[in-house]
Structure 1
Amino acid sequence: MRPRIQAEKGEEMGGGEIVRMKGQRTAAVVVGVKMDAASHQLLTWALVKVAAAGDRVVALHVLPSPAAPAEALDASAGFPSTLSLVKAFEAMLSVYDGLCSLKQIDLELKIARGSSVPKVLVREFISHGATKLVLGVAKSSHAIGCSSRSVAKYCAKKLPRDCSVFAVRNGKALFKREASPAQTLTVGKEEVETKKIKPSSPRSSMSLLSLGDFSSQDKPGWPLLRSALLSQSAMRSIEHSEHKPTSSIVESQVPKELVHLQEKYGTVCRLFSYEDVVCITSEFSPKNLIGKGGSSHVYKGSSSDGQEWALKVLKSSDHHAMEEFTSEIEIVTAMKHKNIVSLVGFCFENNQLILVYDFSSRGSLEDNLHGLDSNKNAIGWAERYKVAVGVAGALDYLHSDGDPPSVIHRDVKSSNILLSDDFEPQLSDFGLAMWASTSAAPRVCNDVAGTFGYLAPEYFMHGKVNEKTDIYAFGVVLLELISGRKPVDTGAKGQESLVMWAMPILQGGKLEELVDPCLGTSFVESELERMALAAFLCISRSPHSRPRMELVLKLLKADDEAVRWARQVANAPEKVDDLDDEAILQHNNLQAHIDLALQDIDDVSSSINSIEPLTNMSMEEYLEGRWSRSSSLN
């Protein structure tokens, strides 16, 4: 389950570009804050006195841009690191969890950077579509949390008349401009660098988005690469929300897509009412929240007769929600395989999109491999091998031509593999799945979606996707099963790629070094060899060199011919002819582009103004650049 971000070009400012988030609900109230007690009091006043039920409140913190005069900086704070800001604001805003939940308020923090605080305030206020601005007042300060009344007056002058502006000190409004009928507004350009952070609260989440000063000139490959890197930023996001769906007061008209779903699948699946869902989940009780990702939350539900379900609630703020909802229903209902999750029903009342599945008692493979020690100790070698064969069977079924047509899952990972009591795996989460193309050529996607750590190189770099995209991800899952390691593991050496760690061992043939220490010697050597061979072939640098899932399944099931073939391929010297153009990563300075996107937000002050002549990059260089600063989101 992954967050999904799409960006569009905004107005060019200061030679760079402003990237605006699409599909977000507009804000109602913007509150200027900094890290002090006065801002704490100011935000409390705004939440109690100004914000109404259902409002979105943006706590805005402005940092001076690097080009700002030295006297504009807080001498004691300087430029705090992104991590320290995140932690400090998270702690500060966590005290509002109860209040936000009670008033059904979405509380969000945004950190913006600019050379002029008043101009940044105006700019951010308009970009959020806000209607109310609340600022603090102090005798003298350069930080927005203690703004002078002159800043509030400046904002009142520049903002539309249908917006309210408050300047507050110690709970008293010293300046107030009430809203009146709207008028046209033109705002000058302002150079701004933004970092968007959503704090931990029942109605909020936390994510990071960094921007560089990229060249606006169109370059070959760069638009898609930047789209991929923006998607990767989404994958680095850290979810802390206790999402609780709320019913709208007035139900909107049911979209045509949903009417079609009801007519077509109403006899195949159960159509749940919103009242049913509320009852099943005990009014979406936090104790029933069992999973959360970038685009959905999963609740455990129980019926009156004791039947247990898993309810996937898509975030209404995600503009991909309707597309994912309809696609998942259409694809999952067409799939009939014991190792593919079955859809029980769905609900689309009260502006909610909810999918209901059977509950898997043991949770996900990720939980069992990387979760509590008690879970990890419970999944022995026999269970791991059973999971490998089961998931291979599910993917072979998805990729097989016929009726239904073949499907590309696009998000194969351990957190999307659910386990029953007897460790029978079920492949789940088809929100990103697509029907495969009938042509031999791969499809090209403009947006790269999935989970960093499982993305095939040709998909990440060029947006090319076909069945081999799933096969690469399955190879990573096999390495997880064998080693017990995460796709990207953080240890004493920093963040390390599972693929990069395992490849020398696979090539050297000392397969015992791959085995999870928790297993000791409790594994079957012949099965270890077959799993390792399958993993080695699946993570091949060239998509054409990866075997079809049918052959991988035969290999795991100990088919003699498949085993002999796999051994020959694994022991054969690598030939240049085996590489195709998709496997050759073409930018000499591509690692610079990747590193820019993956490095810490604080370091994104450099710009890329040109693309040098193209040369080849090895898979090892690509992986090192790709993984050196990455993290995964499940």
Structure 2
Amino acid sequence: MKVDFLVKVCNGDSYISELGYQVRVNYATILAVGCSLSGIKQSVVNDCLKELPPSCSFLVMDKSGKIVLQRQGTSQQGSIYAPFRHPLSSSSEKSYFHQQRAASQLRKSLTVPSSSTAPSMQQTDITARYNIRKAVQVSDLWAEKVSHGSLILEAKGLVRHFTFQELSLATNNFSPEMVIGVGGHSKVYRANLEDGQAVAVKILKETHFPAEDLLHEVRILSDVKHENIIQIIGYCYSKEMHAIVCNLLIGSLKQNLRQLRWNERMGVAVGVAKALEYLHHSFNPPIIHRDVKSSNILLSGTRQPQLSDFGGAMVSQPSEQISASTKPSKVVGTFGYLAPEYMMYGKVDEKVDVYSYGVVLLELITGQEAIQTNEANHESLVLWARSLLNSGLCERLIDPHLSGDYKREEMEIMISVARLCLVHSSSRRPTMEMILRLFQEPEY
């Protein structure tokens, strides 16, 4: 058997996090590390396991090649995708079953022998080499799983798979002139497909989005169908890039905020409330977006809002399953929009979206961004607004660019809803269902 060795020099926050990242982007099912005669510290083992998905085995080998420790990864990043699995056909189920059985056999073959039955050093060396060689044969299990999931979506007609060449042609070889947006985790291009359709191509930056995250976002977007949520057209999963193709809109709320008239701002507030109410109350368990902000709210030509960027979305854990030992969620999102309990403790439920929605309402009311940046400091819109609300100076919140052209009753409702959403205690915040009713039935 011929084996190719690749040496790669990487930059990262730490060698452990970088190893975990390389495991994910290369779909590795085994991470093997060596250790000195004194062994490996348990703290290092724990840190490594936290970075590895359950689909990856972590092996520690001594200088003789003997496997002295073998564990499965414990990172839950990726486990949130389960509720979005589509029903499998009998042939798909059989294929998936064989994959799972192969993985099970691999784990058995890598079981560490007890001291009473341990073979000689030479035999152990041969066994270790055999185990690694056998692992190579199934190293593409995770890649197959990603491909398997996407093929099911394609077969159902939910999404279309685009090749790198198709998108390169549609974006004029990814010309800088076709760039319509740049975010922390992605770059968005305008693209003209062969059939004449204009679309948006969001290319995910590899440093933050492993392949399973791409499939996760594709699965969610293909499951959700709502007029106020971005419509997915397809995706590209290739060695050159990972991308999502969606319907093309005119821009984000952040880009157009001050140009919006009051009735358009009210339309945005109600539309986003409908989208979040749909995510929170039409799925069981609910879908939590976790990154509701003005740059993730896109606008159509008629200024209708569509919630986008579901890369950080997750399924809410039922309260009866939450225990003292439950690990806090890894915080994703944007500073200035994060609920205090989420930012400090990693606690996630529907109320983190409610808080972020409250920040968006403040932006609609004031015409200001969540974080005001200048040379002197970074001022929080929430802190500034809260001080005025507590002092009864609500009038000072209103965007002067509106020039008084707004309905007073609607403004009072939006200010009241924003105040409720931004309550420090999550249990006292309203649900999106209640918020939508407040907008649609003011007497409520």
Q: Secondary structure of the equivalent of 2:264?
A: helix
Correspondence for 2:84: none
Letter in 2 for 1:422: T
Cα deviation 1:17-53 (Å, max 9, x = unaligned): xx8796379xxxxxxxxxxxxxxxxxxxxxxxxxxxx
**Do residues 269 (structure 1) and 149 (structure 2) align?**
no
- The match for 2:182 among 292, 297, 303 is 292
Q: Give the AA of the match of 2:328.
A: C
Residue 411 in structure 1 maps to residue 276 in structure 2: no
The residue number in structure 1 matching 2:146 is: 258
Aligned residue for 2:230? 341
Q: Decide whether aligned partners of structure 1 residues 502 and 513 sit closer, same or farther in structure 2, where only a CA change above 3 A counts.
A: same
The reply to whether residue 400 of structure 1 matches residue 281 of structure 2 is yes
CA 1:353–1:9 in structure 2 vs 1: closer, same or farther (change >3 Å)? closer
Aligned partners of 1:299, 1:22: CA distance in 2, in Å? 30
Instruction: Write the distance in 1 (CA, Å) between the matches of 2:147 and 2:354.
Output: 35
Alpha-carbon distance in 2 for matches of 1:389, 1:440: 32
The aligned residue for residue 382 of structure 1 is: 263
TM-score normalised by L of structure 1: 0.47
Between 261-270 and 543-552, report the one with greater CA deviation: 261-270
- Partner of residue 331 from structure 1, selected from 188, 213, 220: 220
AA matched with 1:390:
G
Cα distance, 1:492 vs structure 2: 7.5
Amino acid at match of 1:261: G
Whether the 8 Å CA contact 1:444–1:465 is kept in 2: the answer is: no
Which amino acid is the alignment partner of residue 501 of structure 1?
A: W
Alpha-carbon deviation of 1:549? 0.6
Counterpart of 1:436, as a letter, is S
Q: Give the deviation of 1:327 after TM superposition.
A: 1.2
Could you tell me which runs of 5 or more consecutive residues in structure 1 were left unpaired when the two chains were aligned: 11-18, 26-251, 370-375, 562-634
Q: Please name the residue that 2:102 is paired with.
A: none
Instruction: Tell me the residue number matched to 1:469.
Output: 352
Aligned counterpart, 2:416:
533
Displacement, 1:556?
A: 1.6
For 2:255, give the aligned amino acid: D
Aligned 8 A contact 1:295 1:321 in 2: no
The letter of the residue matching 2:296 is N
Query: In 2 relative to 1, CA 506–380 (structure 1 residues): closer, same or farther, beyond 3 Å?
Result: same
Contact 1:365 1:414 survives alignment (8 Å): yes
The letter of the residue matching 1:490 is T
Q: Whose helix fraction is larger, Structure 1's or Structure 2's?
A: 2
Amino acid at match of 1:389: V
Any conservation in 2 of the 1:271–1:346 contact (CA below 8 Å)?
Answer: yes
- The ranges of structure 1 where at least 4 consecutive aligned residues each deviate by more than 4 angstroms after the TM superposition are 5-10, 19-22, 440-444
Q: How far apart, CA to CA, are the structure 2 residues paired with 1:387 and 1:495?
A: 26
Residue 547 to residue 433, structure 1, CA distance change in 2 (3 Å): same
Q: Counterparts of 1:493 and 1:348 in 2: how far apart (Å)?
A: 43
Shift of 1:310: 0.7
Q: 1:156 maps to what in 2?
A: none
Instruction: Using the TM superposition, give the Cα deviation of residue 441 of structure 1 relative to its aligned residue in structure 2, in angstroms.
Output: 7.0
1:120-149 residue CA offsets vs partner (Å, 9 max, x unmatched): xxxxxxxxxxxxxxxxxxxxxxxxxxxxxx
CA distance in 2 between counterparts of 1:292 and 1:21 reads: 27
Aligned equivalent of 2:369: 486
2:66 equivalent in structure 1: none
Distance 2:198 2:273 in 1: 27
Deviations 1:234-266 (A, max 9, x none): xxxxxxxxxxxxxxxxxx979123322232210
Name the SS for the 1:464 alignment partner. coil
Instruction: Give the letter for the 1:435 counterpart.
Output: V
Distance of aligned partners of 1:23 and 1:492 in 2 relative to their CA distance in 1, 3 Å threshold: closer
> Is 1:358 paired with 2:250?
no
1:501 aligns with one of 364, 377, 384: 384
Whole-angstrom CA distance in 1 between matches of 2:401 and 2:282: 40
Post-superposition offset of 1:406: 1.6
Identity %: 42
Distance 1:405 1:533, change over 3 A: same
Determine helix, strand or coil for the equivalent of 1:560: coil
CA RMSD in angstroms comes to 2.7
Quick one: distance in 2 between partners of 1:515 and 1:24? 49
Do the aligned residues in 2 keep the contact of 1:314 with 1:353 (CA within 8 Å)?
A: yes
Q: CA deviation at 1:388?
A: 0.3
SS of 1:290's equivalent in the other structure is strand
Which residue of 2 is the match for residue 306 of structure 1?
196
Structure 2: which amino acid aligns with 1:276?
E
List alignment gaps of at least 5 residues for structure 2. Answer: 1-10, 24-138
Structure 1 residues 20 and 435, CA gap change in structure 2 (3 angstroms): closer
Q: Out of 11, 21, 30, which is 1:23 matched to?
A: 21
Contact kept? 1:455, 1:473, Cα under 8 Å? yes
